[in-house]
Amino acid sequence: MILFITHVNSQSNNKKLFYVDSYLTTSNENNFEYIKEIEDYDSRKKEYNIKIYYKSGKIYLIGTTTNKDRVKLEGKCLYYFENGKKKQVANYHDNLPTGKQFYYHENGVFKAETEVEISKDKKISYTKILNYFDENNVQKVVNGEGEYSEDYDHNKERSKGLVKDFLKEGLWNGEIKELKASFSEQYSKGKLVIGHSIDSLNNKYTYTEIEERAHPKKGINNFYSYVQNCGIIPKNIEGGVYGQILLSLEVTETGKLENITAYADDKFGVTANAIQLISQYENWIPGKHRGIIVKTHFTLPITFK
């Protein structure tokens, strides 16, 4: 038996539409941030044209994905503000930003030119800051030298500091609006040396990594062993099951799994059974962002051979 995965919220001719959440994971009409459109969904291709829309129907992203069920960007990708103005011209390889990146302010003024370099093992990336202009079109970074202001996730997080030889250098200060926290960081040749953050309750944290991923207390191998042996394939299914299911999971600040959903569903009950069994795996160490414990998200592929 072959496990075919399809979960379509809407379709039009050779295009299919999906509700997706803030992580661009397939969701539902009660919990979505964007709408994803895939061209030629029913065909087998190496790459698919993808468009993602704001709830308002305005375009957010235009690009190419190598996976029709999971956003895996490749090549040139265009981002837009909801007012219709261009936000970013990005370049990807295997869903990682690489090469030249171009940014724009919401008022249409050109913002920045950067260049991302990735190590061969894909574990470390370096961002060179080439040029930067503020909202009034005043150039603050010229050929890798000057003062730079950066923002993340629709201005929910901002930081500011010096750039020397194209890389972050010295003291950088910033704020995380969603966590009502502030932080200061020391950089040397673009590498974070140490950071200090203060949350809304005046708790202080020290860190040397901006992101720390959540992980099982017993180790990731124990978790994978559980997934392999917990009996995801229902006993009433006859014959072999082949294919892959993709699950989206969140680890809460207290170390519990929640909001386990699938990128797509199947008619045999395998996906539903996987969600139920994996939700029973407990005891996770939560992730951290700039030293502060936060809810984190990751994707779990389960392959049947």
> What integer pLDDT is reported at residue 304 of this predicted model?
75
> What integer pLDDT is reported at residue 97 of this predicted model?
94
Q: What are the structure tokens assigned to 116, written together?
A: 């991302």
For residue 174, what is the DSSP state? Answer: E
Whole-angstrom distance, CA of residue 28 vs CA of residue 17:
11
> What integer pLDDT is reported at residue 161 of this predicted model?
98
The pLDDT tens digits of the residues spanning 207-234 come to 999 999 999 999 989 988 988 888 887 7
> What integer pLDDT is reported at residue 22 of this predicted model?
86
Could you tell me which of 204, 163, 203, 205 has the C-alpha nearest to residue 187? 163
> What integer pLDDT is reported at residue 239 of this predicted model?
61
The answer to whether residues 171 and 160 touch, using CB atoms and an 8 Å cutoff, is no
Whole-angstrom distance, CA of residue 104 vs CA of residue 81:
9
Whole-angstrom distance, CA of residue 126 vs CA of residue 115:
8
Query: Model-level pTM greater than 0.85?
Result: no
For residue 42, what is the DSSP state? Answer: T
Q: Which amino acid is at 242?
A: Y
- With b for 16 or more beta-carbon neighbours within 10 A and e for fewer, the 176-185 pattern comes to beebebbbeb
Phi first, then psi, for residue 203 (nearest 5°) are -75, 140
> What integer pLDDT is reported at residue 39 of this predicted model?
96
Three-state SS for 225? helix
Architecture of domain 215-304: 2-Layer Sandwich (3.30)
> What integer pLDDT is reported at residue 23 of this predicted model?
84
Whole-angstrom distance, CA of residue 83 vs CA of residue 305:
47
Paired sense of beta strands 99-104 and 110-118, if any: antiparallel
> What integer pLDDT is reported at residue 37 of this predicted model?
97
Count other C-beta atoms under 10 Å from residue 187's C-beta.
20
Q: Which positions of the chain have pLDDT values less than 50?
A: 1-10
> What integer pLDDT is reported at residue 125 of this predicted model?
82
Q: What is the edge-to-edge ordering of all strands in the sheet holding 211-212?
A: 211-212, 287-289, 292-294
Task: Give the position of tokens 């397939």.
Answer: 26
The pLDDT tens digits of the residues spanning 173-205 come to 999 998 999 999 999 999 999 999 999 999 999
CA trace torsion 292, 295, 296, 297 (10° rounding): -170
**Which segments of the chain belong to CATH 3.30.1150?**
215-304
The answer to whether residues 116 and 101 touch, using CB atoms and an 8 Å cutoff, is yes
The answer to whether residues 81 and 87 touch, using CB atoms and an 8 Å cutoff, is yes
